[in-house]
Amino acid sequence: MSDKDKKQQSHQKKMEKLKDNVDASIAAADTERGVFILLTGNGKGKSSSAFGMVIRALGYGYKVGVVQFIKGAQLSGEELYIRDQCPQVTFHQMGTGFTWDTQDRSADIAAAEKSWAIAEKMLTDDSYHLVVLDELTYMLSFKYLDQDMILSTLENRPANQSLVVTGRGGGSALADLADTVSEIKEVKHAYNAGIMARKGVDY
Amino acid sequence: MSDKDKKQQSHQKKMEKLKDNVDASIAAADTERGVFILLTGNGKGKSSSAFGMVIRALGYGYKVGVVQFIKGAQLSGEELYIRDQCPQVTFHQMGTGFTWDTQDRSADIAAAEKSWAIAEKMLTDDSYHLVVLDELTYMLSFKYLDQDMILSTLENRPANQSLVVTGRGGGSALADLADTVSEIKEVKHAYNAGIMARKGVDY
């Protein structure tokens, strides 16, 4: 057998094994229902991943709701896009600026409660295929919203509705409730090398 | 001082410190150029994060190119969306199906080279603000494409062009070249609890 044939044979064996593993995982899964995905960790990519899933759902024409619990003074690119190009998405922003900019706990709590009321409507309406609660975890870490009330609403959402929650932390009870948890770890970040945040990439 | 006032004072102090830290990091960054972001790890969210950045760039009207080096037999939601709703995005898929489905090394290499030629065009055209090379890492891990040639092209791309590469692995040379590296770790995944992949969320 030539080297090339050996390589092809070894490659084929590896690929068959990989395919078997992937196929086995897929075959073993037999419950079809909405999933709760928690995207956490200190790395870049949590909110952009959530917006990628928004686009994924829109590709099939599904109804989507997004509530952002923290936002900057300016709209970022994905927010501009959703606002201007996706009128079918119900989109709400807390609109108090970054929490660490306001430094007023009472005002933040009032804003968080108002935004939560909007999220709650989506989480009890089964016409939404996907609900994104961007940076909700901070509302729990800062104790702006009651954890038991939040967890109970998330858990009791319509069976076919999927949910994406993003943000650092959020506590173990939230992670326990989630079906899928990805921790996005910062291995390195451009700004530590003095590179500015990039329009159309970072915001 | 009342308990409430103490809580507000302590909160304000914490928030001021957080704001100072964030502001200091932002102020220290003074180089403006395109960034290379590597999204790796075994967790869910790499490709969806890349597509979130596509939407972010489109929000400002920037030109975007996407090359997918591995794809399933069916178009996923974000691919349908980009194809149908975003004619301004240059979108190419390798189109050989999942590599572990074909099990033919020579055919895979030929397809990888063809797709790379399309990526290379984008990576030498400064009209592209953002280029996404989805699952490129596997072309390196499987040695379908020459690592030195790839790294040199990525490094020498136009200064203002940002780049997102996704996929597990890819080797340390790729990570060294990247400005930002996020490792997406699977903490848990729904399919391990028997829950099927969800249309409009997982694909």
Task: Give A16's contacts in chain B (Cβ within 8 Å).
Answer: 100, 103
Query: Whole-angstrom Cα distance, residue B197 to residue A35?
Result: 9
pLDDT given for residue B102 in this prediction: 61
- Partners of residue B64 on adjacent β-strands: B89, B130
Structure tokens at A35: 């999933």
pLDDT tens digits, one per residue of A53-108? 999 999 999 999 999 998 666 788 999 999 899 999 999 988 765 455 566 788 88
| Mean pLDDT value across residues A45-49 | 94
A74 touches chain B (CB under 8 A): no
CATH 3.40.50.300 assigned to B34-193: yes
Query: Whole-angstrom Cα distance, residue A36 to residue B198?
Result: 11
pLDDT given for residue A28 in this prediction: 66
Q: How confident is the model at residue A25 (pLDDT cuts 50, 70, 90)?
A: low
Q: What dihedral angle (degrees, nearest 10) is formed by the CA atoms of B15, B19, B25, B29?
A: 160
**Residue (of B141, B60, B115, B129) closest to A74 by Cα position:** B60
The beta-carbon neighbor of B185 closest among A11, A47, A183 is: A183
- Which pTM value belongs to this model? 0.84
Contact status, residue B165 vs residue B37, Cβ threshold 8 Å: yes
Beta strands at B89-93 and B64-68: parallel, antiparallel or unpaired? parallel
Report the amino acid identity of residue A139: M
Query: Whole-angstrom Cα distance, residue B93 to residue B79?
Result: 10
Q: E-strand spans in A54-98?
A: 64-68, 89-93
A57 touches chain B (CB under 8 A): yes
ipTM: 0.81
In this structure, the number of other CB atoms found within 10 A of the CB of residue A94 comes to 22
Which of B98, B100, B129, B174 best probes binding to A when mutated, by most A CB atoms within 10 angstroms?
Answer: B100
Task: Give A139's contacts in chain B (Cβ within 8 Å).
Answer: none
- H or E, element range at A3: helix A3-28
Report the amino acid identity of residue A92: H
Helix (H, G, I), strand (E, B) or coil at B134: strand
Contact status, residue A85 vs residue A42, Cβ threshold 8 Å: no
Contact status, residue A140 vs residue A129, Cβ threshold 8 Å: no
In this structure, the number of other CB atoms found within 10 A of the CB of residue B100 comes to 18
Query: Whole-angstrom Cα distance, residue B150 to residue B158?
Result: 15
Contact status, residue B51 vs residue B78, Cβ threshold 8 Å: yes
B97 touches chain A (CB under 8 A): no
Structure tokens at B78: 């974000």
Q: What is the pLDDT along chain B (203 residues), one digit of tens a residue?
A: 677 777 777 777 777 766 666 666 666 677 889 999 999 999 989 999 999 999 999 999 999 999 999 866 678 899 999 989 999 999 998 876 545 556 678 888 888 999 999 999 999 999 999 999 999 999 999 899 999 999 999 999 999 999 999 999 989 999 999 999 999 999 999 988 889 999 999 98
pLDDT tens digits, one per residue of B149-166? 999 999 999 999 999 999
Q: Is the predicted pLDDT of residue A19 greater than 80, yes or no?
A: no
User: What value, to the nearest 5°, has the Cα angle with vertex A61 and ends A80 and B118?
Assistant: 70
In chain A, what percentage of residues exceed pLDDT 90? 62
pLDDT given for residue A127 in this prediction: 97
pLDDT tens digits, one per residue of A98-153? 455 566 788 888 889 999 999 999 999 999 999 999 999 999 998 999 999 999 99
* Domain boundaries of chain A, sorted by first residue: 1-30, 34-193
Contact status, residue B160 vs residue B129, Cβ threshold 8 Å: yes
Structure tokens at A103: 């430094």
Report the amino acid identity of residue B143: K
CA distances from A188 to A185, B99, B115, B151, B177 (A): 9, 30, 28, 18, 11
A196 touches chain B (CB under 8 A): yes
